[in-house]
Amino acid sequence: MTQTCVQLSYKREADGVLSGLGMDKVHRPVLLREAVHWLGCAPGKRIADVTVGLGGHAEAIVEASAPDGVLIGVDRDEDALAVARARLDPSRARLYRAEARELPHILDREGLPRVDGVLFDLGVSSLQLETPERGFAFQIDGPLDMRMDRRQDLTAAHLVNERSEHELAHILRAYGEERWAVAIAKAIVRARAARPLVKTRELVDVVRSAIPARARPVHPHPATRTFQALRIAVNREIEDLDASLEAALSCLTRGGRLVVITFHSLEDRIVKSVMRRWEGGCVCPPGLPICRCGRQRVARVLTSRPLTPAPVEVADNARSRSAKMRVAERVADTG
Ligand SMILES: C[S@@+](CC[C@H](N)C(=O)[O-])C[C@H]1O[C@@H](n2cnc3c(N)ncnc32)[C@H](O)[C@@H]1O
Protein backbone atom coordinates (compact mmCIF):
# COMPACT_ATOMS: atom_id res chain seq x y z
CA MET A 1 0.00 0.00 0.00
CA THR A 2 1.27 3.49 -0.75
CA GLN A 3 1.72 6.06 2.02
CA THR A 4 -1.45 7.92 0.91
CA CYS A 5 -3.51 4.71 0.87
CA VAL A 6 -2.31 3.80 4.36
CA GLN A 7 -3.24 7.25 5.61
CA LEU A 8 -6.66 7.13 3.95
CA SER A 9 -7.44 3.73 5.43
CA TYR A 10 -6.50 5.01 8.89
CA LYS A 11 -8.62 8.08 8.30
CA ARG A 12 -11.65 5.89 7.43
CA GLU A 13 -11.12 3.68 10.49
CA ALA A 14 -10.72 6.77 12.67
CA ASP A 15 -13.88 8.35 11.28
CA GLY A 16 -15.74 5.14 12.20
CA VAL A 17 -14.32 5.06 15.74
CA LEU A 18 -14.93 8.76 16.32
CA SER A 19 -18.47 8.84 14.98
CA GLY A 20 -19.28 5.68 17.00
CA LEU A 21 -18.32 7.66 20.09
CA GLY A 22 -19.97 10.85 18.89
CA MET A 23 -16.50 12.45 19.14
CA ASP A 24 -16.47 13.75 15.58
CA LYS A 25 -19.03 16.32 16.67
CA VAL A 26 -17.75 17.21 20.09
CA HIS A 27 -13.95 17.02 20.25
CA ARG A 28 -12.19 19.64 18.20
CA PRO A 29 -8.50 20.17 18.80
CA VAL A 30 -7.94 23.73 19.98
CA LEU A 31 -5.47 26.11 18.26
CA LEU A 32 -4.72 23.33 15.79
CA ARG A 33 -3.13 25.30 12.94
CA GLU A 34 -1.17 27.42 15.41
CA ALA A 35 0.20 24.30 17.18
CA VAL A 36 1.32 22.71 13.90
CA HIS A 37 2.93 25.98 12.82
CA TRP A 38 4.80 26.72 16.07
CA LEU A 39 6.00 23.13 16.43
CA GLY A 40 7.77 23.65 13.11
CA CYS A 41 6.26 20.48 11.63
CA ALA A 42 7.98 19.55 8.35
CA PRO A 43 9.04 16.36 6.56
CA GLY A 44 11.33 14.23 8.70
CA LYS A 45 10.65 16.07 11.96
CA ARG A 46 10.30 14.14 15.20
CA ILE A 47 7.54 15.50 17.39
CA ALA A 48 6.24 14.31 20.78
CA ASP A 49 2.62 14.96 21.74
CA VAL A 50 2.62 14.19 25.46
CA THR A 51 -1.13 14.70 25.91
CA VAL A 52 -2.09 12.91 22.72
CA GLY A 53 -5.70 12.29 23.84
CA LEU A 54 -7.90 11.34 20.90
CA GLY A 55 -5.12 12.16 18.45
CA GLY A 56 -6.62 15.34 16.97
CA HIS A 57 -3.45 17.43 17.12
CA ALA A 58 -1.36 14.31 16.49
CA GLU A 59 -3.17 13.55 13.25
CA ALA A 60 -2.41 17.04 11.92
CA ILE A 61 1.23 16.78 13.09
CA VAL A 62 1.65 13.43 11.33
CA GLU A 63 0.18 14.90 8.16
CA ALA A 64 2.36 18.02 8.30
CA SER A 65 5.54 15.98 8.82
CA ALA A 66 4.82 13.46 6.03
CA PRO A 67 6.25 11.41 4.47
CA ASP A 68 8.84 10.42 7.04
CA GLY A 69 8.29 12.43 10.23
CA VAL A 70 7.71 10.48 13.44
CA LEU A 71 5.25 11.21 16.23
CA ILE A 72 5.67 9.95 19.78
CA GLY A 73 2.26 10.10 21.46
CA VAL A 74 1.85 9.85 25.23
CA ASP A 75 -1.28 9.78 27.37
CA ARG A 76 -2.15 8.42 30.78
CA ASP A 77 -5.67 7.48 29.64
CA GLU A 78 -5.98 4.08 27.96
CA ASP A 79 -9.43 4.84 26.50
CA ALA A 80 -8.13 7.97 24.76
CA LEU A 81 -5.12 6.05 23.45
CA ALA A 82 -7.43 3.41 21.93
CA VAL A 83 -9.05 6.15 19.84
CA ALA A 84 -5.68 7.68 18.91
CA ARG A 85 -4.38 4.21 17.97
CA ALA A 86 -7.25 3.66 15.54
CA ARG A 87 -6.66 7.08 14.06
CA LEU A 88 -2.91 7.21 13.54
CA ASP A 89 -0.75 5.19 11.16
CA PRO A 90 1.51 3.02 13.39
CA SER A 91 4.40 3.30 10.94
CA ARG A 92 4.54 7.03 11.72
CA ALA A 93 3.11 7.27 15.25
CA ARG A 94 4.23 5.37 18.32
CA LEU A 95 1.89 5.58 21.27
CA TYR A 96 2.61 5.07 24.95
CA ARG A 97 0.44 4.90 28.02
CA ALA A 98 2.54 6.95 30.37
CA GLU A 99 2.93 10.25 32.18
CA ALA A 100 4.16 13.28 30.24
CA ARG A 101 7.15 13.54 32.56
CA GLU A 102 8.28 10.06 31.45
CA LEU A 103 9.12 11.33 27.95
CA PRO A 104 12.93 10.98 28.45
CA HIS A 105 12.55 7.24 29.23
CA ILE A 106 10.21 6.76 26.27
CA LEU A 107 12.71 8.36 23.90
CA ASP A 108 15.43 6.08 25.35
CA ARG A 109 13.24 3.10 24.54
CA GLU A 110 12.66 4.38 21.04
CA GLY A 111 16.40 4.92 20.57
CA LEU A 112 15.70 8.58 19.80
CA PRO A 113 18.16 10.97 21.43
CA ARG A 114 16.00 14.10 21.06
CA VAL A 115 12.87 15.42 19.36
CA ASP A 116 12.28 18.61 17.37
CA GLY A 117 9.10 19.58 19.16
CA VAL A 118 6.93 18.73 22.16
CA LEU A 119 3.24 19.56 22.47
CA PHE A 120 1.19 19.79 25.67
CA ASP A 121 -2.57 20.27 25.27
CA LEU A 122 -3.59 20.25 28.91
CA GLY A 123 -6.99 19.67 30.47
CA VAL A 124 -9.60 17.01 29.80
CA SER A 125 -10.70 15.45 26.54
CA SER A 126 -14.30 15.31 25.39
CA LEU A 127 -14.14 11.53 25.67
CA GLN A 128 -13.40 11.87 29.38
CA LEU A 129 -16.07 14.53 29.88
CA GLU A 130 -18.78 12.78 27.89
CA THR A 131 -18.40 9.30 29.41
CA PRO A 132 -20.70 9.08 32.46
CA GLU A 133 -18.72 6.26 34.11
CA ARG A 134 -15.61 8.46 34.21
CA GLY A 135 -17.35 10.86 36.59
CA PHE A 136 -15.80 14.07 35.20
CA ALA A 137 -19.03 15.88 34.39
CA PHE A 138 -21.57 17.43 36.73
CA GLN A 139 -24.24 17.38 34.01
CA ILE A 140 -24.49 13.58 33.90
CA ASP A 141 -24.74 11.21 36.84
CA GLY A 142 -21.90 8.78 37.36
CA PRO A 143 -19.46 7.53 39.98
CA LEU A 144 -17.28 10.18 41.66
CA ASP A 145 -14.17 9.01 39.85
CA MET A 146 -12.38 11.64 37.65
CA ARG A 147 -9.18 9.62 37.18
CA MET A 148 -7.44 10.13 33.83
CA ASP A 149 -5.34 7.05 34.59
CA ARG A 150 -7.70 4.41 35.93
CA ARG A 151 -4.79 2.38 37.34
CA GLN A 152 -4.28 4.92 40.11
CA ASP A 153 -6.02 4.40 43.45
CA LEU A 154 -7.01 7.98 44.28
CA THR A 155 -10.47 8.98 43.01
CA ALA A 156 -12.67 12.03 43.58
CA ALA A 157 -14.73 9.89 45.99
CA HIS A 158 -11.62 9.37 48.14
CA LEU A 159 -10.99 13.11 48.29
CA VAL A 160 -14.60 14.01 49.03
CA ASN A 161 -15.11 11.33 51.69
CA GLU A 162 -11.71 11.20 53.36
CA ARG A 163 -10.06 14.63 53.29
CA SER A 164 -10.54 17.05 56.17
CA GLU A 165 -12.82 20.06 55.82
CA HIS A 166 -9.74 22.27 55.80
CA GLU A 167 -8.04 20.28 53.02
CA LEU A 168 -11.22 20.25 50.92
CA ALA A 169 -11.61 24.00 51.25
CA HIS A 170 -7.98 24.44 50.21
CA ILE A 171 -8.45 22.25 47.10
CA LEU A 172 -11.61 24.13 46.08
CA ARG A 173 -9.99 27.52 46.60
CA ALA A 174 -6.59 26.74 45.07
CA TYR A 175 -7.67 24.74 42.03
CA GLY A 176 -11.21 26.01 41.49
CA GLU A 177 -10.87 29.61 42.68
CA GLU A 178 -14.24 28.89 44.32
CA ARG A 179 -15.34 31.78 46.56
CA TRP A 180 -17.73 29.47 48.43
CA ALA A 181 -14.94 26.95 49.13
CA VAL A 182 -15.38 26.96 52.92
CA ALA A 183 -19.17 26.64 52.77
CA ILE A 184 -18.98 23.82 50.22
CA ALA A 185 -16.32 21.96 52.22
CA LYS A 186 -18.50 22.24 55.34
CA ALA A 187 -21.56 20.97 53.43
CA ILE A 188 -19.58 18.01 52.06
CA VAL A 189 -18.38 17.02 55.53
CA ARG A 190 -21.93 17.34 56.88
CA ALA A 191 -23.44 15.27 54.06
CA ARG A 192 -20.85 12.49 54.24
CA ALA A 193 -21.46 12.05 57.99
CA ALA A 194 -24.86 10.56 57.04
CA ARG A 195 -23.41 8.37 54.27
CA PRO A 196 -20.48 8.57 51.84
CA LEU A 197 -20.96 10.59 48.65
CA VAL A 198 -20.49 8.22 45.74
CA LYS A 199 -22.29 9.78 42.76
CA THR A 200 -21.67 13.01 40.86
CA ARG A 201 -25.34 13.99 41.23
CA GLU A 202 -25.06 13.75 45.04
CA LEU A 203 -22.07 16.09 45.01
CA VAL A 204 -23.89 18.54 42.70
CA ASP A 205 -26.81 18.64 45.19
CA VAL A 206 -24.45 19.29 48.12
CA VAL A 207 -22.69 22.10 46.25
CA ARG A 208 -26.00 23.72 45.29
CA SER A 209 -27.22 23.53 48.87
CA ALA A 210 -24.02 25.19 50.14
CA ILE A 211 -24.27 28.29 47.94
CA PRO A 212 -26.99 30.78 48.95
CA ALA A 213 -29.72 30.93 46.27
CA ARG A 214 -29.13 34.65 45.61
CA ALA A 215 -25.43 34.01 44.91
CA ARG A 216 -25.90 30.81 42.88
CA PRO A 217 -24.79 31.48 39.32
CA VAL A 218 -26.99 30.32 36.47
CA HIS A 219 -23.96 30.28 34.24
CA PRO A 220 -21.50 28.76 34.79
CA HIS A 221 -23.24 25.96 36.68
CA PRO A 222 -22.61 26.31 40.45
CA ALA A 223 -20.75 22.97 40.54
CA THR A 224 -18.32 23.88 37.71
CA ARG A 225 -15.51 25.10 39.97
CA THR A 226 -15.85 22.27 42.49
CA PHE A 227 -15.64 19.63 39.77
CA GLN A 228 -12.69 21.37 38.12
CA ALA A 229 -10.84 21.61 41.43
CA LEU A 230 -11.38 17.95 42.33
CA ARG A 231 -10.33 16.81 38.86
CA ILE A 232 -7.10 18.83 39.08
CA ALA A 233 -6.35 17.41 42.53
CA VAL A 234 -7.15 13.78 41.59
CA ASN A 235 -4.86 13.95 38.55
CA ARG A 236 -2.11 16.07 40.13
CA GLU A 237 -2.44 18.39 37.14
CA ILE A 238 -0.78 21.35 38.82
CA GLU A 239 1.76 19.57 41.05
CA ASP A 240 3.34 17.63 38.16
CA LEU A 241 3.38 20.39 35.56
CA ASP A 242 6.78 21.95 36.37
CA ALA A 243 8.51 18.54 36.30
CA SER A 244 6.75 17.57 33.05
CA LEU A 245 7.86 20.81 31.35
CA GLU A 246 11.46 20.29 32.53
CA ALA A 247 11.39 16.73 31.19
CA ALA A 248 10.10 17.99 27.84
CA LEU A 249 12.81 20.66 27.59
CA SER A 250 15.50 18.06 28.29
CA CYS A 251 14.24 16.06 25.27
CA LEU A 252 14.43 18.91 22.76
CA THR A 253 17.16 19.42 20.19
CA ARG A 254 18.72 22.90 20.04
CA GLY A 255 16.19 24.97 18.16
CA GLY A 256 13.45 22.49 19.13
CA ARG A 257 10.10 23.98 20.17
CA LEU A 258 7.92 23.44 23.19
CA VAL A 259 4.26 24.37 22.61
CA VAL A 260 1.91 24.42 25.60
CA ILE A 261 -1.86 24.96 25.48
CA THR A 262 -3.57 25.60 28.82
CA PHE A 263 -7.20 26.16 29.83
CA HIS A 264 -6.73 27.32 33.41
CA SER A 265 -5.09 30.48 34.74
CA LEU A 266 -3.10 28.56 37.36
CA GLU A 267 -1.59 26.30 34.70
CA ASP A 268 -0.81 29.25 32.45
CA ARG A 269 0.94 31.03 35.32
CA ILE A 270 3.16 27.98 35.92
CA VAL A 271 4.02 27.66 32.21
CA LYS A 272 4.86 31.37 32.05
CA SER A 273 7.10 31.27 35.10
CA VAL A 274 8.91 28.07 34.05
CA MET A 275 9.62 29.55 30.60
CA ARG A 276 10.87 32.77 32.21
CA ARG A 277 13.15 30.74 34.46
CA TRP A 278 14.63 29.00 31.41
CA GLU A 279 15.12 32.31 29.67
CA GLY A 280 16.53 34.09 32.70
CA GLY A 281 19.89 32.34 32.92
CA CYS A 282 22.28 33.56 35.63
CA VAL A 283 20.66 34.62 38.91
CA CYS A 284 23.85 35.82 40.69
CA PRO A 285 23.58 39.22 42.38
CA PRO A 286 24.76 42.01 40.06
CA GLY A 287 28.36 43.02 40.72
CA LEU A 288 29.78 39.50 41.27
CA PRO A 289 32.90 39.31 39.09
CA ILE A 290 32.15 35.72 38.01
CA CYS A 291 28.96 33.70 37.87
CA ARG A 292 28.54 31.41 40.86
CA CYS A 293 25.05 30.04 40.26
CA GLY A 294 26.07 28.25 37.06
CA ARG A 295 22.64 28.79 35.53
CA GLN A 296 22.58 29.50 31.86
CA ARG A 297 19.86 30.52 29.50
CA VAL A 298 18.38 27.30 28.15
CA ALA A 299 15.40 28.54 26.18
CA ARG A 300 14.03 31.57 24.39
CA VAL A 301 10.37 32.48 24.77
CA LEU A 302 8.81 33.03 21.35
CA THR A 303 5.45 34.33 22.59
CA SER A 304 5.79 37.49 24.67
CA ARG A 305 2.04 37.24 25.27
CA PRO A 306 0.09 33.99 25.12
CA LEU A 307 -1.61 33.23 21.82
CA THR A 308 -5.38 32.85 22.03
CA PRO A 309 -7.92 31.44 19.57
CA ALA A 310 -9.34 33.75 16.93
CA PRO A 311 -12.98 34.82 17.45
CA VAL A 312 -14.05 32.50 14.65
CA GLU A 313 -12.59 29.49 16.51
CA VAL A 314 -14.28 30.53 19.75
CA ALA A 315 -17.60 30.92 17.91
CA ASP A 316 -17.17 27.46 16.43
CA ASN A 317 -15.84 25.72 19.55
CA ALA A 318 -16.84 27.15 22.93
CA ARG A 319 -14.27 24.95 24.73
CA SER A 320 -11.50 26.98 23.08
CA ARG A 321 -12.48 30.27 24.72
CA SER A 322 -10.15 29.96 27.72
CA ALA A 323 -7.22 28.48 25.76
CA LYS A 324 -3.77 30.08 25.90
CA MET A 325 -0.71 28.94 24.00
CA ARG A 326 2.90 29.65 24.94
CA VAL A 327 5.96 28.63 22.96
CA ALA A 328 9.63 28.33 23.92
CA GLU A 329 12.64 27.32 21.84
CA ARG A 330 15.61 25.49 23.30
CA VAL A 331 18.86 27.36 22.89
CA ALA A 332 21.35 25.43 25.01
CA ASP A 333 21.90 22.11 26.76
CA THR A 334 20.26 21.79 30.15
CA GLY A 335 23.07 19.51 31.33
C1 LIG B 1 -7.25 18.07 26.07
S2 LIG B 1 -6.88 16.39 25.97
C3 LIG B 1 -5.85 16.29 24.56
C4 LIG B 1 -6.62 16.26 23.29
C5 LIG B 1 -5.73 16.05 22.07
N6 LIG B 1 -4.80 17.13 21.87
C7 LIG B 1 -6.58 15.86 20.83
O8 LIG B 1 -6.53 16.70 19.93
O9 LIG B 1 -7.27 14.85 20.76
C10 LIG B 1 -5.72 16.16 27.26
C11 LIG B 1 -5.23 14.74 27.37
O12 LIG B 1 -4.04 14.77 28.14
C13 LIG B 1 -3.99 13.68 29.02
N14 LIG B 1 -3.11 14.10 30.10
C15 LIG B 1 -3.27 15.16 30.92
N16 LIG B 1 -2.20 15.28 31.73
C17 LIG B 1 -1.34 14.28 31.39
C18 LIG B 1 -0.04 13.90 31.86
N19 LIG B 1 0.57 14.56 32.84
N20 LIG B 1 0.54 12.82 31.29
C21 LIG B 1 -0.08 12.15 30.29
N22 LIG B 1 -1.29 12.47 29.82
C23 LIG B 1 -1.92 13.53 30.35
C24 LIG B 1 -5.43 13.44 29.39
O25 LIG B 1 -5.64 12.09 29.76
C26 LIG B 1 -6.17 13.79 28.09
O27 LIG B 1 -6.39 12.65 27.30
Q: 284 alpha carbon to ligand 1 midpoint, in Å?
A: 37
Residue 11: which pLDDT band, with cuts at 50, 70 and 90?
low
Mean pLDDT, residues 318-323:
93
Name the residue of 33, 62, 119, 125 whose CB sits within 8 Å of the most ligand 1 atoms, as the mutation to test its pocket: 125
Measured distance CA(180)–CA(172) in Å, rounded: 8
Ligand 1 atom closest to 53 (CA): 27
The whole-number pLDDT of residue 291 equals 85
Is 29 touching ligand 1 by the criterion CB < 6 Å?
A: yes
The whole-number pLDDT of residue 8 equals 46
Name the residue of 27, 36, 39, 75 whose CB sits within 8 Å of the most ligand 1 atoms, as the mutation to test its pocket: 75
Is the pLDDT higher at 22 or at 208?
208
Return mean pLDDT, the chain: 91
Which of 31-35, 83-87, 157-161, 279-283 is least confident?
Answer: 279-283
The whole-number pLDDT of residue 86 equals 95
Q: 257-307 pLDDT, tens per residue?
A: 999 999 999 999 999 999 999 998 787 888 888 888 888 899 999 999 999
For the chain, the C-alpha Rg in angstroms (whole number) is: 21
The whole-number pLDDT of residue 122 equals 97
Measured distance CA(166)–CA(159) in Å, rounded: 12
Instruction: Give the Å distances, CA to CA, from 47 to 11, 112, 115, 125, 321.
Output: 20, 11, 6, 20, 26
The whole-number pLDDT of residue 25 equals 47
Measured distance CA(6)–CA(269) in Å, rounded: 41
Mean pLDDT, residues 103-132:
96
The whole-number pLDDT of residue 23 equals 55
Is 125 touching ligand 1 by the criterion CB < 6 Å?
A: yes
Element (H, E) at 94: strand 93-97
Measured distance CA(242)–CA(240) in Å, rounded: 6
Identify whether 311 is preceded by a cis peptide bond (ω within 30 of 0).
no
| 329 has pLDDT over 60 | yes
| 236 has pLDDT over 90 | yes
Is 99 touching ligand 1 by the criterion CB < 6 Å?
A: yes
Q: What percent of the chain has pLDDT over 70?
A: 91
Residue 207: which pLDDT band, with cuts at 50, 70 and 90?
very high
Is 117 touching ligand 1 by the criterion CB < 6 Å?
A: no
**What is the pTM assigned to this prediction?**
0.91
Q: 149-192 pLDDT, tens per residue?
A: 999 999 999 999 999 999 999 999 999 999 999 999 999 999 99
Note whether 267 and 238 are within 8 A (CB). yes
Is 69 touching ligand 1 by the criterion CB < 6 Å?
A: no
Is the pLDDT higher at 103 or at 14?
103
Q: 234 alpha carbon to ligand 1 midpoint, in Å?
A: 14
Residue 7: which pLDDT band, with cuts at 50, 70 and 90?
very low
In this structure, which residue's CA is closest to atom 3 in ligand 1? 53
In this structure, which residue's CA is closest to atom 8 in ligand 1? 56
Is 103 touching ligand 1 by the criterion CB < 6 Å?
A: no
Which of 96-110, 233-247, 271-285 is least confident?
Answer: 271-285
| 234 has pLDDT over 60 | yes
